[in-house]
């Protein structure tokens, strides 16, 4: 196994967005607050920094249209546990995929590592296996995400970038109702989330019922994908 380490030299300015004070003032109601945690606006800032970091990495690897894997666009919150406490929180998960047959996997890994370093994030690169089982992996922790993993499989040319935020205070359910502007989420809510991300994509954190859909009823991405240049924002 070969291991390489890349060290970032400076902090990512957008990472400061993750340090927004929670302003938990007892006795003061806040209609935008997610239970006892962050407000929707704070969650949106967290998402914006996270999405910008993921976009930087995938565009550094290859500036083209990437697939959103398994609907993991990054805006649909999932529940998590805050540290060792029993208190619940939310996290955001983004997964992107692309096939780059014939590309040197170490070149792909180097591009990912350099993009992470430009964000002030250290990463480790490892190689495992041989021939068809060979796999090159770049792993980074901290910065705009708790953990980011870039996996390259030379035999198929498959490149996958997975990233997730730290567990943040707030209700995943309450945040989802803000993101999708519905109290009871329909079963096909995933159709509202973009199926691809490319050079001209802009981050979106609000998907109301009257917005565009990115998949047909069978789960196939619609072509062409709806082009959003001015993302909608919730009223107020």
pLDDT tens digits along 51-73: 999 999 999 999 999 999 999 99
Give 105's Cβ-side CA count (13 Å radius). Answer: 24
pLDDT recorded at residue 83: 80
d(CA 78, CA 81): 10
pLDDT at 206: 98
Which is it for the CA torsion 98, 101, 105, 107, positive or negative? negative
pLDDT at site 7: 41
pTM: 0.84
Structure tokens at 218: 């069978």
Do residues 112 and 60 lie in contact, with contact meaning Cβ atoms separated by under 8 Å?
yes
**Residues of the chain whose pLDDT is less than 70?**
1-36, 236
Angle between helices 40-61 and 105-118 (to 10 degrees): 140
Closest CA to 140 of 46, 14, 54: 54
Residues forming a β-bridge with 167: none
Q: Under 8 Å CB-to-CB from 69, ≥6 apart: which residues?
A: 95, 96, 97, 160
Residue 51 Cα to chain centre, angstroms: 5
Tens digit of each residue's pLDDT (9 = 90 or more) over 81-97: 998 777 889 999 999 99
Cα separation, 234 vs 69, in Å, equals 26
What's the pLDDT score for residue 24? 25
Give strand ranges (E) for the chain: 2-6, 66-68, 78-81, 88-91, 93-99, 123-128, 135-142, 145-153, 158-164, 168-169, 196-197
């Amino acid at each position: 196994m070969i291991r390489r380490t890349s060290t970032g030299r400076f902090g990512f300015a957008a990472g400061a967005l993750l340090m927004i004070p929670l302003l938990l003032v007892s006795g003061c109601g806040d209609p935008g607050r997610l239970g006892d945690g962050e407000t929707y606006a704070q969650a949106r800032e967290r998402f914006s920094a996270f999405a910008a970091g993921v976009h930087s990495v995938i565009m550094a690897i290859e500036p083209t249209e990437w697939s959103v894997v398994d609907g993991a666009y990054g805006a649909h919150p999932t529940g998590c546990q805050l540290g060792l406490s029993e208190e619940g929180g939310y996290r955001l998960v983004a997964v992107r995929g692309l096939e780059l047959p014939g590309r040197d996997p170490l070149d792909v890994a180097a591009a990912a590592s350099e993009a992470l370093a430009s964000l002030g994030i250290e990463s480790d690169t490892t190689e495992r296996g041989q021939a068809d089982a060979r796999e090159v992996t770049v792993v980074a922790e901290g910065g705009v995400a708790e953990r980011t993993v870039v996996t390259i499989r030379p035999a198929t040319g498959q490149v996958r970038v997975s990233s997730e935020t730290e567990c943040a205070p707030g209700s995943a359910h309450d945040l989802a109702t803000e993101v999708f502007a519905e109290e009871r989420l329909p079963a096909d809510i995933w159709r509202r989330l973009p199926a691809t991300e490319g050079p001209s994509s802009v981050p979106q954190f609000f998907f109301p019922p009257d917005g565009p859909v990115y998949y047909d009823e069978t789960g196939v991405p619609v072509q062409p994908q709806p082009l959003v240049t001015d993302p909608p924002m919730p009223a107020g």
